[in-house]
Structure 1
């Protein structure tokens, strides 16, 4: 066992309980607390001068890192709410055709499939998707529109003339209106 590994083991034995309890208190979730615990000790493992730290400095660093990670996780949850897995399976079972729809999405070409997944499953906006994919937002909206058209064809949908979303509204013509 290397010096770094033995240092990490000693730190986990001495301060792991405090890090976990703090994370559990802040996150109110066992899985999130476990993630924070793991992230904190992985960060410690990557510290070059970790083994040279004084014990009180180490404990303070671990607790501050845990608090920071909890805050990061909280900000992430505010931007991207998480649905428990149990609720997802109940919702998916309740929605008729959802499995068929996502199977059809899986058959789309990647350049159409990625924006659909990011927009509908992950909740990103067209602008955010554009930044992620490195393409203009207009291209993302076009790909979403084309993907919807292909999905409609694949699944045998009908065109009732209503736009599917705001992104599908026709652009005003050059002559006005």
Structure 2
């Protein structure tokens, strides 16, 4: 069981990652906030011994994914325009903003592996374990997601 100081340190360290993952799943800022809060409460109440920081991060991602899946079962699932959340972000360049919108337009099955691989630096094997899908499926989803992104971004460039 974590003491208050350990929990505060871990909450500060991983809260943004949990939120970003939840947001990538739900595309709703308020839903992602609720899921982040639920995950951190579960961490606080966890009667578990963690071996390392990597073990804690893996556990948090797994719990976040499970909470996101539960949220999709709810008849009160909320959706919000992506622009509301994007307006709170600062992008280093217009290309980064364009990429954010393109990634968020991907279907969830491609968006989440791309987020975990490119933003959280997980390998295909690790993503496979986190999402409980075969390694080959992760690689396929990453490839197809990249192809869709490439196509969508080239279409956007041709319209400019």
- Give TM-score, length-normalised by structure 1: 0.41
Higher relative contact order (CA closer than 8 Å, sequence separation 6+): 2
Which is higher, the Rg of structure 1 or of structure 2? 1
